[in-house]
Amino acid sequence: MKFLPDQVVARLQTEMQTPDLSGTRYRALKFLGRGGMGAVWLVEDAVLHRNVALKVLSAESSSADLAVRLMLEAIILARLEHPGIVPVHDAGTLPDGRSFYCMKYVEGQTLDQYIHRLGLRQRLQLIQRIAEPLAFAHSRGIIHRDLKPENIMVGAFGEVLIMDWGLAKVMAVSSVAAPARQVSGHGSTRAVQDSAQSGALAAENPTAHGTVFGTPGYMAPEQERGDVNLIDQRTDVFGLGSILQYIMRDKSGAPRGEALSRPLRAIGNKATAAEISARYSSVQELAADLGKYLDDMPVSAYRENLFERTVRLVNRNRVAVVLVLAYLLMRMLFILFSRK
C-alpha cells in the first residue's frame, strides 16, 4: 500500500469534495460555503456565460433521503417565485452521482454581517422586509423552519433574500403545486388553494413525528420537541422573532444609542412566545406591529399606561406640541407684559 504524504491526503480530500462537473455546462470557480445537506459552489455556466451558484450534496446517500430532500428544496424554490426568494435555474444529478441544483448567485452579505452598519430603525425595517417573502411562502403552504441571520442575504442592490429552504415543510393542504390564483379582498391577498396537487408534494416531504429540524437558538419549542404536527406558520413567526431578538441584542457596529422600549421588547417576546397560541398568528401581523411601533402608534403586543401613551403622543406629534407650547408661552408673556 502506497504511503500518501500529508499534502496528497489534503489534495485528495479537496478533490473528493469538488463536484464532478465534467460533461456538464458548469465549471467550478470557487467554494462558497457549506449548509446542512451540502456545499455551495460558485460555478460558471459555460452556455450562458454567467456565474451561478451550485448546491451539491456532500455525499451520496444510499437511502437517497438527502437527494430527495435536495430535489424537494429545488422544487419548492422553483414554485416560490418572489423577489425575496432566490430563483432556481436547473436541477439534476452530476456524473459522480451527487444531486445538485443551480440557482442565482447572490452577491451580498448575510444578515449577521450586514446589520452592523444599521441603526435600530433600519434593522426593524429589515425584519419587515424579511416578512414579505415569508408571508408569500406561507400563502403557498411552505414553512421555512430554519430562519436565522445566516440564512438571510442582503444583496448588492439592497434586496433581502431568504436562503436555504432545505428544511422547509410543505403543509398537507397548500397551493404550492400550482401557481395560486390571487384573490384580493378586504385589503389582503389570499391564495386559492389546490389541495389535490399540493398533497402529492407534501407526501414526498414527510417528517416523522419526533424528528428535530432546525438550528438551536432559533428553533421554536415545538421544533425542539419534535412535535411535527404542531408546526405551522407560527413556527416561522418564532424564527423571525428570534432574528428580531438577535438584532435587538446585537451591539456591534455603529453605536445606536437607542434604548429598547417596552413595546419593542413586548413585540419580540410575543413573537417568540413558547406557547404557540400566544404568538402572532402570522408574520404579516408581526410586521404590522413593527410598523406601528416605527410610526409611534400603539402596538398589539403591549398595553401602555396613561403616562406612556402621553409620552408617545408627544413624541409622535413633536412639532405640533412644540408649536402649541411656543404659542402658550408667547401668550403668557404677552399677558404678563400687557398687565405691566
Partner 1 sequence: MAPNPQGDAFPLTRHSVVAAAQGRDPQERVRAMDAITEAYWRPVYKYVRLRWRLEREDAEDFTQDFFSRLLEKDFLASYDPVKGKLRTFLRTCIDRLFLNQTRDAHRQKRGNAAVHVSLDFEEAEHELAASTQSGSPEDYFEKEWVRTLFALAVERLRAQCRSAGKTVQFALFERYDLGDTETRPSYAALAEEFSLAVTDVTNYLAFARREFRRCVLDQLREMTGSEEEFNREAQTLLGVDPK
Q: Note the residues at the interface with partner 1 (CB under 8 A).
A: 1-9, 11-18, 20, 22, 31, 34, 58-63, 66, 95-97
The CB-of-229 to partner 1 minimum distance in angstroms stands at 25
Residue 149 CA to residue 127 CA, distance in Å, equals 11
Q: How many CA atoms lie less than 13 Å away from 301 in the CB half-sphere?
A: 27
Nearer to partner 1, 6 or 275 (CB): 6
Nearer to partner 1, 34 or 117 (CB): 34
- The minimum distance between CB 43 and partner 1, in angstroms, equals 14
Q: Report the alpha-carbon distance of residue 52 to residue 317 in Å, rounded.
A: 50
Cα separations in angstroms, 150 against 51, 153, 160, 243: 22, 8, 12, 10
Nearer to partner 1, 12 or 324 (CB): 12
Q: Which helix (H) or strand (E) holds 102?
A: strand 99-104
Sign of CA dihedral 297, 298, 299, 305: positive
Contact 137, 86 (CB under 8 A): no
Q: How far apart are CA 226 and CA 324, in angstroms?
A: 58
Cα 202 to Cα 173: distance, rounded to the nearest angstrom: 8
SS3 label, residue 165: coil
N-term to C-term CA, the chain: 112
CB of 218 to partner 1, least distance (A): 22
- φ, ψ for residue 81, nearest 5 deg: -85, 105
Instruction: Identify which of 304, 287, 276, 323 has the alpha carbon closest to the alpha carbon of residue 84.
Output: 287
Residue pair 284/131 in contact (Cβ under 8 Å)? The answer is: yes
Q: Shortest approach of partner 1 to residue 10 CB, angstroms?
A: 8
Which residues are 189's β-sheet partners?
Answer: 184
Give me the catalytic one of 146, 164, 194, 289.
146
Toward partner 1, which CB reaches closer, 61 or 261? 61
What is the closest distance, in whole angstroms, from the C-beta atom of residue 111 to partner 1 in the complex? 22
Instruction: State the minimum distance, in angstroms, from the CB of residue 105 to partner 1.
Output: 18
Burial class from Cβ neighbours inside 10 Å (0-12, 13-18, 19+) for residue 155 reads: middle
289 is annotated as an active-site residue: no
Q: Of 62 and 338, which CB lies nearer to partner 1 in the complex structure?
A: 62
> Which residue, 14 or 315, is less far from partner 1 as judged by CB?
14
The catalytic residues are: 146
